[in-house]
Chain A
Amino acid sequence: DTAVSQTPKYLVTQMGNDKSIKCEQNLGHDTMYWYKQDSKKFLKIMFSYNNKELIINETVPNRFSPKSPDKAHLNLHINSLELGDSAVYFCASTAARGGSEQFFGPGTRLTVL
């Protein structure tokens, strides 16, 4: 029974396209996140949502737009994809901001050609 799930697992697309990655958690958590892991394997936070409200935006280009239709879902839409967007994107969730363990999804490997 998957706790945090992401679709798709792999995404290969051309420069300039628009794509979306979906994330769902069935843990009943209030807070969800998007992280980016670059080619050097360094993980960095992109966005955080708490109860559908944006609370962290780490100076990510506005081509990236997170959308949270409800607190169990946090989708990531990327416009005008660039080569530098190629990375693995992880979704995560936690029960409460600050003190709780974060649970990560399996990741989506995005390759922009």
Chain B
Amino acid sequence: KQEVTQIPAALSVPEGENLVLNCSFTDSAIYNLQWFRQDPGKGLTSLLLIQSSQREQTSGRLNASLDKSSGRSTLYIAASQPGDSATYLCAAYGNKLVFGAGTILRVKS
């Protein structure tokens, strides 16, 4: 049974800092891993999708890496801004999408 863990559960940083969010999964037999952002009371916005054959994906200030063998993914956010404040969710897809509990990020101005 796939289990996805996200560390830290919450993070508060000053504006401009670079930061890393961690995601680990127990079953390495995945097709892909997806990072999402959820704003309070809103739906999920897909940020990055990494296929199992890929090592990383980049979109703007976001970079996500995937190491299947160790069961880990990281989301790197460069030069954080107050608008980045949200809950970040990672989800691993084997035969279904299994979510972590999320990291609540607060970027202070």
Contact = CB atoms under 8 A, between A and B. Distances in A.
A65 B42 CA distance: 25
A20 B98 CA distance: 25
A106 B46 contact: no
B43 A99 contact: no
Interface of A: 33, 40-45, 48, 56, 58, 90, 92, 98-107
Interface residues of B, number: 22
Contacts of B98: 45
Contacts of A90: 43-44
Contacts, number: 47
B32 A107 contact: no
Identify whether the interface residues of A are mostly helix, strand, loop, or mixed.
loop
B80 interface: no
Interface of B: 31-32, 34, 36, 42-46, 49, 51, 87, 89, 91, 93, 95-99, 101-102
Contacts of A105: 43
A43 B102 CA distance: 10
A101 B43 contact: no
B94 to A, nearest CB: 9
Contacts of B43: 90, 104-107
Contact of A44 (B31, B44, B99): B99
Closest 8 CB pairs of A and B: A104-B44, A106-B43, A43-B99, A101-B49, A98-B31, A107-B43, A104-B43, A45-B96
Contacts of B36: 104
Nearest to A99: B31
B46 A41 contact: no
Contacts of B32: 98-99
A58 B98 CA distance: 12
